[in-house]
Chain A
């Protein structure tokens, strides 16, 4: 059956074991890719003819902004999988995504503001992309707030899954509404970064950083999801087996 792998991943002991095996295979490439990207971006890439060395913050800013959106999509998809198939593992993955996504969003906002200082002369400009990043942060905070407010973990899972699903429908609407809102107010942004004409010496480190950040996210997610599963299934028998300890409860039955 084609779906066997899917159901197998739905089993907490199997996921716990496989995630533990996979995590280092993402963590080490992440470290190597980020190191190579930083050397290339901060050292080897030429300074921008307009922005000087100030542009180099893109090597942190762009991957963080990309991940802030991607993590939300991963979170909403696994929440939807949990809602449809009632899978503990999917809920654990969704719950682990929230804090990671919020951190990447905050990082993208902070680096965007630092970048804005030399480029626009202020830390905060109502730039459409920065503004929609801010609204995305509020979406993450709302998701985490709702989870925190509900004591029962099963209900928290399902309620926050509904919220994430509603949110993922809204994310593109919010994004484009903010872009139209701003383009109606001011002339096209100063930040017209020459995407098609970006030289390879600048582009390659950026791609390395994107890949590195993504691998870092996967490693982080697998590790956090394992922790989340341990917390949820703390009374289950397989935990004792997996950790190689004998618990009173496990051995009694």
Chain B
């Protein structure tokens, strides 16, 4: 009897389910980026004069710097353990599109850091004085922006996964590349809070996310293959 053959969709689904289950077993670790995001956005009012008008001005910066850093926080572990215990090698050898499987792993990173952040963002944004009407815009910007951040960050994680002393190198690699996301995301959030049309920056965020989703899998596969050698 030959072993049952699994198609790409089945394999990617199994990979996502496995990574989510692993994350659930270590829910303390998995919740860290979310807690970090909340702490950062709480620290801004403490460092400033807590006037609502002033907070409203810095709310975009606080939300997006928080999102960027919390996304970065979980990146280091994205491929590291799977590279050490040989899982990634098996994935590279199994004959299914490696790019797609790595994209599935990146999707898990987004499900664990991006999506919870989008869900909790209304709370943080309200605390920073954003009006209720601004929420759909803020959520849409964070949704697109966090997708782009996970994709861009995955390349950095793939390049540094086999390094023993990683330290701040991952941040140095990823943050300059993520600058456009930060710029357009914060701009869209500022426009949403001001009650103006945020279509322009939102479209650009979407374009960056689509471009990243198109090009990142190939760069990511190349980076991870080099790391596996």
Q: A residues touching B (Cβ–Cβ < 8 Å)? A: 83, 135, 138-139, 141-142, 145-146, 149-150, 155, 158-159, 162-163, 165-167, 169-170, 173-174, 177-178, 180-181, 184
Contacts and interface: CB of A to CB of B under 8 A. Distances in A.
A141 B204 CA distance: 27
Given A149-B165, A159-B159, A163-B159, A174 B176 contact: yes
A169 B155 CA distance: 13
B23 interface: no
B169 interface: yes
A230 to B, nearest CB: 25
Which are the 6 A-B pairs with shortest beta-carbon distances?
Answer: A177-B180, A138-B176, A181-B183, A142-B173, A142-B172, A158-B226
6 contacts: A135-B176, A138-B172, A145-B173, A149-B163, A155-B226, A165-B219
Contacts of B56: none
A32 to B, nearest CB: 37
Contacts of A159: 159, 223, 226-227
A163 B179 contact: no
Most chain A CB within a 10 A radius of its CB, from B155, B169, B172, B226: B226
Interface string B147-171: 0000000010001100101100100
A145 B179 contact: no
Contact of A162 (B165, B175, B226): B226
A83 B222 CA distance: 10
Contacts of A162: 155, 159, 219, 222-223, 226
A159 B229 CA distance: 11
Contacts of A138: 172, 175-176
Given A163-B173, A177-B180, A177-B204, 11 more contacts: A139-B176, A142-B176, A146-B160, A146-B169, A146-B173, A150-B163, A155-B226, A158-B222, A158-B226, A170-B180, A184-B187
A34 to B, nearest CB: 31
A44 B62 CA distance: 51
B229 A155 contact: yes
Interface in B159-214: 159-160, 163, 165-166, 169, 172-173, 175-177, 179-180, 183-184, 187, 204, 208
Given A158-B226, A159-B227, A177-B184, A166 B179 contact: no
B17 interface: no
Contacts of A174: 176-177, 179-180
A166 B219 contact: yes
A172 to B, nearest CB: 10
Contacts, number: 70
B215 interface: yes
A177 B188 CA distance: 13
A146 B180 contact: no
A36 B169 CA distance: 43
Contacts of B175: 138
Most chain A CB within a 10 A radius of its CB, from B166, B175, B208, B223: B223
Most chain A CB within a 10 A radius of its CB, from B159, B166, B204, B215: B159
B72 to A, nearest CB: 13
B215 to A, nearest CB: 7
A142 B179 CA distance: 14
Nearest to A177: B180
B160 A177 contact: no
Contacts of A180: 183
B226 A169 contact: no
A177 B203 CA distance: 13
A163 B176 CA distance: 12
Contacts of B219: 162, 165-166
Contact of B177 (A155, A167, A178): A167
A158 B222 CA distance: 9
B182 to A, nearest CB: 9
A130 to B, nearest CB: 14
A146 B159 contact: yes
A242 B215 CA distance: 43
Contacts of A155: 226, 229
Contacts of B180: 170, 173-174, 177
Nearest to A182: B183
A173 B173 CA distance: 16
A48 to B, nearest CB: 32
A155 B187 CA distance: 39
A203 to B, nearest CB: 33
B163 to A, nearest CB: 5
